[in-house]
C-alpha cells in the first residue's frame, strides 16, 4: 500500500498540512511591514479623533498614543517580533500594543476596519513614494541642466533613425531630457493631488454608526479631504496604478537616456566618458570599461512595467468592494518604487560625473552631410527657390560629394554652379556646423542662445 500521507500536495515545506498553506498564502507581514510607520501614524490620528468625538476616553487615547510610540520605537530599533500567524502589519501592531497597554488597545479599532486601515496605510506609503520620485526627478533635471549650461555651444550630431541628421548642441540634447523629466514630474504631481483623499473611516465598506469625524483624521494625515464614498474608498487602488503608470513613463525616459550613454561611451562614438564610479572592468579584457550602471537601469525598467501590468490584471475584474486579491497590490508597487528610486539616483550620479568629449562630438557633427538641410534652406532664402526644388538640388550636391568622398563644404563653387548656376559663394557661410546651430534661433531651437534661455528658465523654475 502507498502511504498517501507522504504524497500530499503540501509536502516538503508545507508538511504541517493545509493550515500551513493557508497561513503562507494569507499572510502579508513578510512585505507589508514596510508600512509600519504609516500604520502607526494612521492609528494615532484615529485614536485622537475617537477621543475628541467622545467615543473613547482621553485616558485610553493617551495610553494608545504612548503605546504606539513604543511599538514604533521597537520597529525602528529592530527589536519588534513579527508573527506570520497575525497575518499583517496591522494585527502585529495591535497585538503588541495590547501586550504593552492592555485593554485600551482593544478600543483602537472602534469605527474602522482593516479594509479602510490598509487603504489608508497604502495611500500614505504611495504618497511618500510620489514625493520621493518628484525629488529624484528634480535632482536629475538639475544634473542635466548643469551639463547643458557647460556645453550650450558645443556642437554634436543630431540623429534620426540613428543616422546623422543635422548638427545640434550638446546643451540642446541635454535639455531634451529635462523636458521629458518635467512631464514625468508633472504626472507625479498630478497623481499626488488626485489621490489625496482619506479612506480612513470608510470602515469595512459601508461607513460606521459611530459619530466619527473623518475630516479631522483626513487633516491630521495631510489629506485634502475624506473620500466621499465608502465603497469606493476601500476598493480603490487607482492611486497605486497612477504611481505605476507615471513610473512606467519615467522609466521609458531613463531607459532611452541609458541607451544613449551606452552608445556614446563606446569606442566607436567616444562622445562621453563615464566615471569609474558608474563603470566596471572586464574579468578577462583589461581595456574594457563597461557602462554597467546604464545597462542595469535599462534592464530594471522591466520590473516597473511588470508591476504596472500585474496590478492592472489584479484589479480588472474585481466586484465592489474589497477582495483578498487586493493584497497582491503591495509587493509589486514596493518593488517598482525601489527600482525607480534606484534608477533615478544612479542616473543622476552618472550624469553629474560624466564628461562630454567636445572634440569627438564636434568631429562627428560634420559627418554624414549634416548641413544639407542648411544648404536647402539657403537656396530657399537666397534664391527664392521652392523648397521641393531646393531639396532636389541639395540631393544632387550630396550625391556629388559622396561620389568624391568629401563633405559639402569641400565642394568648390564651380562644383555647386554645375548643379545650379545661381548659387553664390555666400552659400559657404551656412555650411559649417557652428553656423548651422547658431542659425536655429526659433523658440525651442538648438542655437546656443536658445539653450541658455531654456537653462535659465528651468533654473528659475527649480530654484
Checking DSSP bridges between strand 225-226 and strand 355-356, what pairing results, if any?
unpaired
Looking at 5, 6, 161, 209, which residue is catalytic? 161
Task: Identify whether 161 is a catalytic site residue.
Answer: yes
Reference 458, options 157, 200, 198, 149; nearest CA is 149
Q: How is residue 278 written as a grid cell?
A: 558608474
Q: How is residue 103 written as a grid cell?
A: 485593554
**SS3 for 209?**
coil
DSSP secondary structure string for all residues of 227-268: -S-HHHHHH--HHHHHHHHHHHHHHHHHHHHHHHHHHHTSTT
- Whether 95 and 71 have beta carbons less than 8 Å apart is answered as no
Question: Measured between alpha carbons, how far is 385 from 76 in angstroms, rounded to an integer?
Answer: 74
Looking at 83, 186, 266, 282, which residue is catalytic? 282
Task: Identify whether 420 is a catalytic site residue.
Answer: no
Q: Is the peptide bond before 321 cis (omega within 30 degrees of 0)?
A: yes
Reference 120, options 192, 27, 190, 40; nearest CA is 40
CB atoms within 10 A of CB 5: 9
Question: Measured between alpha carbons, how far is 439 from 378 in angstroms, rounded to an integer?
Answer: 11
CA distances (Å), origin 114, targets 108, 145, 222, 245: 12, 46, 20, 26
Cα 443 from chain centre: 28
Checking DSSP bridges between strand 163-169 and strand 197-198, what pairing results, if any?
unpaired
| Catalytic annotation, residues | 161, 282
Amino acid at each position: 500500500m502507498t502511504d498517501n500521507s507522504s504524497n500530499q500536495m503540501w509536502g516538503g515545506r508545507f508538511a504541517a498540512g493545509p493550515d500551513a498553506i493557508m497561513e503562507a498564502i494569507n499572510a502579508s507581514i513578510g512585505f507589508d511591514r514596510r508600512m509600519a510607520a504609516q500604520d502607526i501614524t494612521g492609528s494615532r490620528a484615529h485614536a485622537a479623533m475617537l477621543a475628541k468625538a467622545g467615543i473613547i476616553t482621553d485616558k485610553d487615547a493617551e495610553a494608545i498614543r504612548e503605546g504606539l510610540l513604543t511599538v514604533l520605537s521597537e520597529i525602528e530599533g529592530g527589536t519588534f517580533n513579527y508573527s506570520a500567524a497575525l497575518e499583517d502589519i496591522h494585527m502585529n501592531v495591535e497585538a503588541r500594543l495590547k501586550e504593552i497597554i492592555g485593554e485600551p488597545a482593544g478600543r483602537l479599532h472602534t469605527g474602522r476596519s482593516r479594509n479602510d486601515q490598509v487603504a489608508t496605510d497604502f495611500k500614505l506609503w504611495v504618497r511618500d513614494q510620489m514625493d520621493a520620485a518628484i525629488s529624484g526627478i528634480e535632482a536629475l533635471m538639475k544634473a542635466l541642466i548643469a551639463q547643458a549650461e557647460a556645453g550650450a555651444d558645443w556642437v554634436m550630431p543630431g540623429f534620426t533613425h540613428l543616422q546623422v541628421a543635422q548638427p545640434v548642441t550638446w546643451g540642446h540634447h541635454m535639455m531634451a531630457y529635462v523636458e521629458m523629466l518635467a512631464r514625468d514630474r508633472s504626472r507625479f504631481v498630478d497623481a499626488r493631488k488626485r489621490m489625496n483623499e482619506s479612506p480612513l473611516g470608510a470602515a469595512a465598506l459601508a461607513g460606521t454608526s459611530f459619530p466619527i469625524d473623518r475630516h479631522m483624521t483626513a487633516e491630521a494625515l495631510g489629506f485634502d479631504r475624506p473620500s466621499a464614498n465608502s465603497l469606493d474608498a476601500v476598493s480603490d487602488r487607482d492611486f497605486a496604478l497612477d504611481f505605476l503608470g507615471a513610473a512606467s513613463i519615467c522609466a521609458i525616459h531613463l531607459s532611452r537616456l541609458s541607451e544613449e550613454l551606452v552608445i556614446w561611451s563606446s569606442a566607436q562614438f567616444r562622445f562621453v566618458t563615464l566615471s569609474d564610479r558608474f563603470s566596471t572592468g572586464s574579468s578577462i579584457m583589461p581595456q574594457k570599461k563597461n557602462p554597467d550602471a546604464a545597462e542595469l537601469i535599462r534592464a530594471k525598467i522591466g520590473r516597473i512595467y511588470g508591476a504596472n501590468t500585474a496590478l492592472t490584471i489584479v484589479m480588472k475584474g474585481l466586484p465592489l468592494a474589497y477582495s483578498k486579491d487586493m493584497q497582491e497590490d503591495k509587493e509589486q508597487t514596493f518593488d517598482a518604487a525601489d527600482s525607480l528610486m534606484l534608477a533615478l539616483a544612479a542616473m543622476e550620479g552618472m550624469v553629474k560625473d560624466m564628461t562630454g568629449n567636445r572634440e569627438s562630438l564636434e568631429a562627428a557633427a560634420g559627418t554624414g552631410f549634416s548641413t544639407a538641410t542648411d544648404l536647402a534652406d539657403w537656396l530657399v532664402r537666397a534664391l527664392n527657390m521652392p523648397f521641393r526644388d531646393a531639396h532636389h538640388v541639395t540631393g544632387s550636391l550630396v550625391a556629388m560629394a559622396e561620389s568624391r568622398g568629401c563633405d559639402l563644404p569641400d565642394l568648390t563653387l564651380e562644383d555647386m554652379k554645375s548643379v545650379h548656376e545661381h548659387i553664390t559663394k555666400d552659400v559657404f557661410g551656412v555650411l559649417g556646423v557652428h553656423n548651422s546651430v547658431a542659425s536655429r534661433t526659433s523658440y525651442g531651437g538648438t542655437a546656443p542662445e536658445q539653450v541658455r534661455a531654456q537653462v535659465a528658465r528651468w533654473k528659475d523654475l527649480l530654484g
